[in-house]
Copies of this chain bind each other. A is one copy, B any other.
């Protein structure tokens, strides 16, 4: 049982909320959440595990017969630009983001056992980071903070 399989987590509700918010945001921004893009987002939200592009491709094919790698990568690029998903650099994979309505720094906790990825905002970490790169005279454009280990659920089981 993983963190998000737990009885406390109503995943259907979790997904519906994320998808509804995505639609709302795209509407507000005047960008198109087309069927392909929506399907990819839905597939990413199917679990809280990071999903690989070619896994998505296989899953999309029954829905979009013409799907080829660019189909997926374009959808991923769009979703990423809109802040609806994050790329997990250390896994070459993608996860859904539920904080898309506010710009935010991402910090990802990646469980080696159940493969689930939890996003946290971690203001204190970001504050410490700001001080660190100000010292270095470094001007930040983007951050990727990825922590690998065991999530609380898996930690107690192993």
Contacts and interface: CB of A to CB of B under 8 A. Distances in A.
Nearest to A142: B148
Interface in A80-117: 89-90, 107, 109, 111-112
Given A89-B89, A143-B146, A144-B90, A151 B129 contact: no
A124 B131 contact: yes
B137 A152 contact: yes
A131 to B, nearest CB: 7
Interface in A116-158: 118, 120, 122, 124-125, 127-129, 131-133, 136-152, 155
Contact of A140 (B132, B138, B143, B148): B148
Interface of A: 89-90, 107, 109, 111-112, 118, 120, 122, 124-125, 127-129, 131-133, 136-152, 155
